[in-house]
Amino acid sequence: MDIKLKPIGIITSKYKDKEGSPRQGRYSEEKSVVKVFNEYMEGLEGIEHHKYYMVFYWQDRAERDKLKVVPHGKTEKRGVFYTRAPVGPNPIGFCLVELLEVNGNELTVQWLDALDGSPFLDIKPFWKEVDSV
Amino acid sequence: MDIKLKPIGIITSKYKDKEGSPRQGRYSEEKSVVKVFNEYMEGLEGIEHHKYYMVFYWQDRAERDKLKVVPHGKTEKRGVFYTRAPVGPNPIGFCLVELLEVNGNELTVQWLDALDGSPFLDIKPFWKEVDSV
């Protein structure tokens, strides 16, 4: 079975490649812009009333066939599911972001680590009581 | 552009339909089992060394064409991206879970709200310093 995702927007960022991007978006204060395609804009209604969101995007330049990686700062390989390495069978990028500005179909956020041009997939409000421990 | 996800396992839970499932997995103490297909098992190496994970799954029974919904406890429609409703163009299910047991390719977790039989997509360790505010 294949499952098809629909890109619903595109992310603009200063990160042109993996080498130029932070290990986690949270470690940088760069701003990124999520541009939502017009046909999905209706789904943004009210979005400015919450501050923190979880952004899901597609890591289109990720290596999908890797199941083991050497994590940052380590020397031995680990299973990808025990790491935050941006590789693996379904490279869904995930970042908690702060929503700084909403301008029509453009969301300006910080803490996002998506490479420039990454397809945008989904955004959900962060609820501390269910999304954190 | 279409993006293809590969189911890498299957989730077994007590939730047979939306009506019988909690509003958020966190609000229940039910346990679920994530069974990872053998070809992806290598990616699990080391997974038992961390306690909290973020599980990504596919909400295969979700309505993908809805951009507005009336959230639980509200009376007016809101854009789906401002809600946690399990609908929208890319119904990627997301839950923070506690990993209770690892038995070969089977992960027993709590706080997962996936319906029984949902395709499993990805799992990442939860890092409080980047995934929470």
B23 confidence band (pLDDT: 50, 70, 90) = confident
pTM (two decimals) = 0.96
Residue in B78, B111, B121 closest to A90 by CB: B121
**Residues of chain A found within 8 Å of residue B63, distances taken between Cβ atoms:** none
Question: Average per-residue pLDDT in chain B?
Answer: 95
Q: Are B27 and A68 an interchain contact pair (Cβ–Cβ within 8 Å)?
A: no
Token digits for A36?
């939502």
Side chain identity at residue A62, one-letter code: A
Region A17-38: mean pLDDT is 92
Cβ proximity of B55 and B123 under 8 Å: yes
Report DSSP letters for A63-113, one per residue: -TT--EE--TT-SS-EEGGGS--S-SSS-EEEEEEEEEEEETTEEEEES--
Cβ proximity of B5 and A5 under 8 Å: yes
DSSP H helical segments within chain A, as ranges?
128-131
Task: Please state the length of chain A.
Answer: 133
Q: What is the ipTM of this complex?
A: 0.96
Whether B109 and chain A come into contact, CB under 8 Å, resolves to no
Side chain identity at residue A131, one-letter code: D
Q: Are B46 and A132 an interchain contact pair (Cβ–Cβ within 8 Å)?
A: no
B120: which strand partners?
B9, B57
A2 confidence band (pLDDT: 50, 70, 90) = confident
B20 confidence band (pLDDT: 50, 70, 90) = confident
Tell which residue, B13, B8, B11, has the closest CA to residue B41: B8
A20 confidence band (pLDDT: 50, 70, 90) = confident
3-state SS, residue A94: strand
Per-residue pLDDT of A70-107, as tens digits, reads 988 899 999 999 999 999 999 999 999 999 999 999 99
